[in-house]
Amino acid sequence: MPKIEGFTPRDWTVHPSNIPADYKSAPLRAPTKPLVIFPQSLTELTGPIFGQDAVGKLDHDLTKNAVESGEPHGERIIVTGTVRDEDSNPIPDILLEVWQPNAAGRYDHADDQHDAPLDPNFLGAGRCVTDQEGRYRFITIKPGAYPWGNHYNAWRPSHIHFSLFGPSILTRLVTQMYFPGDPLLELDPIFKAVPAAARNLLVANLSIEISEPEWALGYEFNIHLRGRNATPMES
């Protein structure tokens, strides 16, 4: 059997603590005992492999994959980036799933009772697979902020949820992407639960090169699954 190369241990200083101080619902679902570190074996170092045939034709375009009677409301945007491993090598065939609220700040989910309109032409969910250069790209509507009840007059900044299935269980990542210049970031306990030095890793960069004239602004959000520049975990 060939030698199994392990991963460098995670740098937990870039990730949020198990129980962030001002995130009130976290203690109800956070671990209450220290993590148990298992040796890295074949089980931890392997995982499912996805190809381009794992996604549908419109899965990457959230402005088209749920259309019923017209275009969705809101600002169309392009989001793209490169997924890299702990050595900064691009990783192909990574399944990347996204979900978000609509332009009014409401999720298409029965539990979301925010007093904002649903968009019949926008589901707010999609997925894509990275190409051979580790690049991904999807089209969506810029999400709106929404109230979330954590504290008095609490509003979540605009964000998109990301879920990535890397080449092994140790490269699994669930995180959030934020937008540059959002004044709500400094008021948000979830964003501020990430150590200050790593918060910029969760904020996309506006890119004129990615933007398409007369059509959509573009944002670049690069993701590192592990290593020195690991993208922080966020749920």
Which residues are the active-site residues?
107, 146, 156, 159, 161
How would you label 100-111 residue by residue, b for 16+ Cβ within 10 Å and e otherwise? bbbbbbbbbeee
Q: Which residue has the tokens 């109800």?
A: 28
For 191, half-sphere exposure in the C-beta direction (CA atoms, 13 angstrom radius) is 25
Question: What is the SS3 assignment for 4?
Answer: coil
Q: Would you state the structure tokens that stand for residue 228, as one six-digit string? A: 């020195």
DSSP 8-class letter at 226: S
Burial class of residue 141 (count of CB atoms within 10 Å of its CB; 0-12, 13-18, 19+):
buried
